[in-house]
Structure 1
Amino acid sequence: MIQPRLERYLRERGTPYRFLGHPRAIASQETAEAEGISGWQLAKSVVVDLAAGDEVICVVPAPTWVDLDAVCDATETEDAILSDEDRMRELFPGCEVGAEPPFGGLWNLPVIFDPSLLAIDRILMNAGTHDDLIELRTEDYLILERPLLAPIAVMPGEPWRHAMPAEV
């Protein structure tokens, strides 16, 4: 179970937080609905494998997807793909696949945080299971994790930034 490990991580760093239980939900949007909140208040973690063999946790609003081209730009790598489930189990012991908390300091992974999430004061995110969320102030999360801020989120169906025509 991840909760004691996550609690210890936050407590040792003096970061205030609150755990919330909710009816089991797998998809991020289902989780937001179970909590009775907008998906824009829920941050989801998406783990991306970079060309150099490293991984990065991408934190984006629940209704969005990760723009892998933008991740390549932010990390100055040539290629990026979504991590597979087997790799997720290795990287996040004790977590259910798809419910990984976006705490790179806990997992020794870098974090990229989409700036659109700066618009909310309190952020909700998965806490390692599909039944639990953690809530903390967005500012506290940024102080704790010191993520790279980069626009990496795109709405489903929108072209990635590299596919969009350049403005003249």
Structure 2
Amino acid sequence: MSIVKKVNTYLDNEHIHYQLLRHSPSHNSLGSAIASNIPAEQLVKAVVLEDSEGQKLMAILPASHKVSLITLNEMLNKQFHLIKEAALYQLFTDCDHGAVPPIAEPYNMDRVYDQYLMQQPCLYLEAGDHESLIELTIDEFSRLMQGARPLHFSHRVFH
């Protein structure tokens, strides 16, 4: 597998320039960073949240960080929680389990991103499988995030 068709089509339609990087199989974003020999703060992951009314939100942040739900909920004046794993699989049927691309639009979802990402020279996104990453310049990532709200809602877990 490589980049999932839905994401590939979206990136092409938006004229986002990227490179595809292959790596040995991994089981999570941190594993992908290690397998690709890239810093974990440059690997972008998605955490999918849901509120009590079923509204979905993709929180986009570095693999080296963890979402602070308390901070995010205060900033948005909402009560989001992690989406159940079975519901996540239903949303991302074209992706391998656990390889959610941090690109919300093809999945009709709102999004926010942690502004820490904008401090990186380039970024790598999960492509929907456990063997590929999408490499973006910071300018291309900025274009991809147009319309998303930049916030500071995470804290570093891995150094």
Alpha-carbon deviation of 1:58?
0.7
Q: Secondary structure at the match of 1:23?
A: coil
Q: Secondary structure at the match of 2:102?
A: coil
CA–CA distance in structure 1, aligned partners of residues 143 and 94 of structure 2: 25
**2:36 matched to 1:35?**
yes
CA–CA distance in structure 1, aligned partners of residues 55 and 97 of structure 2: 19
**2:92 matched to 1:92?**
yes
Alpha-carbon deviation of 1:22?
0.7
1:165 paired residue number:
none
- Residue pair 2:114, 2:153 contacting (<8 A) in 1 also: yes
- Residue pair 2:20, 2:133 contacting (<8 A) in 1 also: yes
- Residue pair 2:44, 2:125 contacting (<8 A) in 1 also: yes
1:141 paired residue number:
141
CA–CA distance in structure 2, aligned partners of residues 122 and 63 of structure 1: 15
Alpha-carbon deviation of 1:91?
1.3
Alpha-carbon deviation of 1:67?
0.5
Q: For residue 82 of structure 2, what is the amino acid of its counterpart?
A: L
CA–CA distance in structure 1, aligned partners of residues 137 and 8 of structure 2: 15
Runs of 4+ in 1 over 3 A off after TM superposition: none
- Residue pair 1:59, 1:112 contacting (<8 A) in 2 also: yes
Q: Percent identity?
A: 26
CA–CA distance in structure 2, aligned partners of residues 105 and 16 of structure 1: 17
Per-residue Cα deviation, 1:141-163 (whole angstroms, up to 9, x for no partner): 23233211111112349xxxxxx
- Residue pair 1:32, 1:39 contacting (<8 A) in 2 also: yes
2:63 paired residue number:
62
Q: For residue 92 of structure 1, what is the amino acid of its counterpart?
A: F
CA–CA distance in structure 1, aligned partners of residues 105 and 17 of structure 2: 16
Q: Secondary structure at the match of 1:128?
A: coil
1:6 paired residue number:
7
| Bigger radius of gyration | 1
Per-residue Cα deviation, 1:9-63 (whole angstroms, up to 9, x for no partner): 1111111011111111112221111001110111111111123321111111111
Q: How does 1:14-53 map to 2 (within 5 A)?
A: 14-53=15-54
Q: Secondary structure at the match of 2:129?
A: coil
2:111 paired residue number:
111
Q: CA RMSD in A?
A: 1.7
CA–CA distance in structure 1, aligned partners of residues 93 and 138 of structure 2: 25
Aligned residues: 156
Structure 2: gaps of 5 or more residues: none
TM-score by length of 2: 0.90
Structure 1: gaps of 5 or more residues: 158-168
